[in-house]
Structure 1
């Protein structure tokens, strides 16, 4: 077991994150397990209150560095007329809860609804941080 607090196990059948297999793998990347439920709530709150595209990129880099969570943000191949045209993908990885993979894009979308200038900036840079 890692010396830092790790995320508690999801109820049986509620998630397919592979937490147990990750803990048993001596070469597994355990960083994602540092995201406890309390830390996840703070992260989601932070993502909901983005100030700018630079702020989003900074958080994206910190999530990858500290937790190994990778995001891809891009535009739909069709014409973008609303926030629905912006695609936010959290890449699957062992130990990352299914609900967390859904909560992160939802929090970012809520932030984009509050601050449409960030969505416009995403569109201005071509919409892609990483290839989808």
Structure 2
């Protein structure tokens, strides 16, 4: 039996296009439905907000909001190998039941765009992750 919810949920993806396990999640009575609350319209608002980030502090606040509202961790760290370009920064949105495959790709892409526009944020990430190994 599917849960009855009082808030809008993301519409289901076409069959075979996603592995979000939406139906299984809705069938569990005590499941965390926060990832399903990210509708396509809300996703676009989030992407726009991420792309508009102008400082490292804003990025940290946004990571906290994503953790609180979606129950998902957005990890942004330097690669264990040498970082020569922006591609050396690892941006990973935690895989979680209910989180659409498209969202798991679009959020890191939006973060990468923000970092390309504001290289000082990338430098702050490197500094926060002990760039010089001291």
Do both proteins adopt the same fold according to a TM-score greater than 0.5, normalized to the shorter chain? yes
Work out the CA distance in 1 between the residues paired with 2:49 and 2:72: 15
> Which of 19, 25, 28 is 1:25 aligned to?
28
> Which of 48, 70, 80 is 2:83 aligned to?
80
Moved over 3 A (4+): none
* CA shift for structure 1 position 74: 0.8
How many residues get paired? Answer: 127
Cα distance per residue 1:55-97 (max 9 Å; x no partner): 0110110111111121111111111111000001111111000
Work out the CA distance in 1 between the residues paired with 2:64 and 2:14: 30
- Larger radius of gyration between Structure 1 and Structure 2: 2
Work out the CA distance in 2 between the residues paired with 1:64 and 1:6: 18
Matched, 1:114 2:127: no
Work out the CA distance in 1 between the residues paired with 2:5 and 2:55: 35
Work out the CA distance in 2 between the residues paired with 1:12 and 1:2: 22
Specify every segment of 5 or more residues in structure 2 that has no aligned partner in the other structure, as ranges: none
Work out the CA distance in 1 between the residues paired with 2:72 and 2:36: 11
> What is the TM-score when the length of structure 2 is the normalising length?
0.92
